[in-house]
């Protein structure tokens, strides 16, 4: 069971809870901090001094005083009025990740909420109540207000307790009203106190959740990209000198050095590499460490941003003591939005250089003696189209990525009567980064599928040749799932199966194990 304390949540833990149902509990020390923070809010209320969001209105209405007796209604009104998202519902894994992140950030103890609010979020995770959250409508500043308000509809209530005001949720595979889902799971809904409505809705939590899962996935596909690169390098009889350790050490970029080192490990023992007798190759092979290495370095930066964000206080105001409430801007999603844009740019480039290798593999003028479009034999060309269309699909996805990778965080419109005059657009940036990664995964699947066919044909030409230890394992596993077909076939389902192979942890573990074994030979 995962224990959260507000300070140590990792990307792997987020994925475990969001995707694999890992149960969660609150650390005792975090519970004590929550009790203390809530007590401070009560003391602020008793003192009567105006503090934003505790006894005032919100946004443009921050100068309007609210009585202590109206504090609960203020919180509930915030939830009701802000739940105006639109668009298709977010995937369940994203919603679960956001619930975990929100619970973790509140657990730090500076938001002034009761422990029961955090514990309710954790119970919803543990018992499988997933609110339905529209995917559009957040500016990513003042937090993801609309998405978080939809979460609040399900977990909170008021004296009227109207089912139609409880939003929607799924429970045990069924979509139902939020009130019904919570009742079925045996989880009481909360009547909010002072500051608690604001604490639920403040923070770029859904933006961070989408990006956290995207970063987790990107790490996997960056590893896969080095395998597909290595398979293409062998299929094209590429030159090894571009991957020489000295070349990359001279430039000093850690990602570049890591990519080159992994290609050397994957292709160790190959007799295809350097068999073409060329001094140097086209950029899609020769500069792949520089391009994919830059993406690795970008990933490391983005991962650091996300890990800080999911362990940060993103509420406003922050309560540091009974007479020490400070209004600031930690809810602003700019760090998340910029990081999401950076990741989208990086992964779109991984897809772009992969597509160039696919093109080279299928072009009879560029693939060094393989049939055009990798038809089974030259005389079959025309009757068979070969892998012409998979390259089209890859090119289409790369073009789409180029649009999706246009920065969202540079786009802003003012809201709330100019009180919120610069917005981050962070959730849109995170959604686009997630889409770029999904597209990149498919491009890499096309490359793996194309390179495997090219290797089949190359082995026919060079029956005594052998693959590298790592690439041989990757090739073997792909061919177990998708056997070679001589003539035209319905390539689409076969590429989908190749993508499933590449997406599995077992595939990477197996290839990495072969590399490790090879290093001890």
Where does 83-164 show beta strands of DSSP type E?
86-89, 129-131, 134-136, 156-157
State the CB neighbour count (10 A cutoff) for residue 462. 14
Q: How far is CA 201 from CA 68, 93, 308, 360, 366, in A?
A: 20, 19, 19, 50, 55
Encoded tokens for 131: 């609110």
Dihedral sign, Cα of residue 42, residue 48, residue 51, residue 55: positive
CB 24 within 8 A of CB 126: yes
CB 11 within 8 A of CB 214: no
* CA atoms of 109 and 312, how far apart (whole Å): 11
| Catalytic residue check, 52 | yes
Q: How far is CA 333 from CA 8, 93, 196, in A?
A: 21, 21, 20
Q: Name, in order, each residue with C-beta under 8 angstroms of 408's C-beta and a sequence gap of 6 or more.
A: 337, 340, 341, 425, 426, 428, 429, 432
Where does 164-322 show beta strands of DSSP type E?
168-171, 174-177, 190-191, 318-321
Encoded tokens for 321: 């003591």
8-state DSSP, 335: H
Burial 184-217 (b: 16+ CB within 10 A, else e): bbebebbebbbbbbbbbbbbbbbbbbbbbbbbbb
**Helix (H/G/I), strand (E/B), else coil: 146:** helix
Catalytic annotation, pick one of 52, 171, 368, 475: 52
CB 281 within 8 A of CB 321: no
Residue 494 bridge partners (DSSP): none
**The pairing of beta strand 174-177 with beta strand 168-171:** antiparallel
Cα three-residue angle 112-114-118, rounded to 5 degrees? 105
8-state DSSP, 376: S
* CA atoms of 422 and 420, how far apart (whole Å): 6
The residue written with tokens 């690439």 in the block is: 471
Cα three-residue angle 230-233-235, rounded to 5 degrees? 110
Residue 77, judged by CB atoms within 10 A of its CB (0-12, 13-18, 19+), counts as: middle
Which residues form the catalytic set? 52
């Amino acid at each position: 069971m995962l224990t959260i304390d507000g300070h140590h949540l990792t990307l792997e833990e987020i994925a475990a809870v969001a995707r694999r149902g890992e149960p969660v509990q609150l650390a005792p020390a975090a519970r004590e901090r929550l009790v203390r923070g809530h007590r401070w809010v009560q003391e602020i209320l008793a003192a009567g001094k105006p503090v934003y969001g505790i006894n005032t209105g919100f946004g443009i209405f921050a100068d309007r005083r609210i009585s202590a007796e109206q504090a609960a209604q203020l919180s509930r009104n915030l939830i009701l009025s802000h739940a105006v998202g639109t668009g298709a519902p977010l995937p369940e894994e994203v919603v679960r990740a956001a619930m975990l992140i929100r619970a973790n950030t509140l657990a730090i103890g500076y938001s002034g909420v009761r422990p029961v609010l955090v514990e309710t979020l954790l119970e919803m995770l543990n018992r499988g109540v997933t609110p339905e959250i529209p995917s559009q409508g957040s500016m990513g500043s003042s937090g993801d207000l609309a998405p978080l308000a939809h979460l609040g509809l399900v977990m909170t209530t008021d004296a009227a307790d109207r089912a139609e005001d409880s939003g929607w949720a799924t429970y045990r595979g069924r979509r139902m009203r939020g009130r019904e889902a919570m009742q079925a799971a045996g989880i009481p809904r909360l009547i909010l106190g002072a500051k608690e409505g604001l604490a639920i809705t403040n923070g770029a939590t859904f933006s961070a959740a989408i990006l956290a899962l995207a970063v987790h996935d990107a790490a996997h596909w960056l590893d896969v990209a080095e395998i597909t690169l290595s398979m293409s390098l062998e299929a094209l009889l590429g030159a090894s000198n571009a991957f020489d350790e000295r070349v990359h050490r001279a430039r000093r970029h850690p990602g570049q050095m890591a990519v080159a080192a992994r290609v050397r490990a994957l292709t160790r023992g190959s007799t295809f590499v350097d068999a073409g007798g060329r001094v140097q190759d086209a950029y899609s092979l020769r500069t792949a460490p520089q391009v994919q290495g830059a993406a690795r370095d970008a990933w490391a930066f983005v991962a650091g941003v996300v890990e800080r964000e999911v362990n940060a206080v993103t509420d406003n105001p922050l309560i540091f003591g009974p007479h020490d409430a400070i209004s600031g801007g930690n809810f602003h999603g700019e760090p998340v939005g910029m990081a999401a844009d950076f990741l989208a740019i990086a992964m779109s480039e991984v897809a772009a250089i992969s597509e160039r290798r696919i093109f080279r593999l299928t072009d009879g003028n560029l693939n060094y003696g393989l049939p055009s479009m990798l038809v089974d034999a030259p005389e079959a060309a025309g009757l068979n189209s070969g892998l012409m269309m998979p390259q089209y699909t890859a090119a289409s996805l790369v073009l789409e990525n180029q649009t999706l990778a246009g920065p969202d965080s540079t786009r802003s419109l003012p809201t709330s009567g100019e009180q919120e005059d610069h917005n981050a657009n962070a959730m849109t940036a995170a959604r686009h980064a997630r889409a770029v990664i999904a597209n990149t995964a498919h491009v890499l699947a096309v490359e793996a599928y194309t390179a495997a066919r090219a290797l089949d044909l190359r082995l026919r030409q060079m029956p005594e040749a052998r693959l590298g230890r790592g690439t041989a394992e990757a090739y073997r596993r792909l061919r177990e799932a998708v056997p070679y077909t001589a003539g035209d076939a319905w390539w689409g389902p076969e590429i989908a199966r190749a993508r499933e192979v590449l997406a599995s942890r077992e595939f990477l573990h197996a290839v990495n194990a072969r590399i490790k074994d090879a290093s001890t030979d």
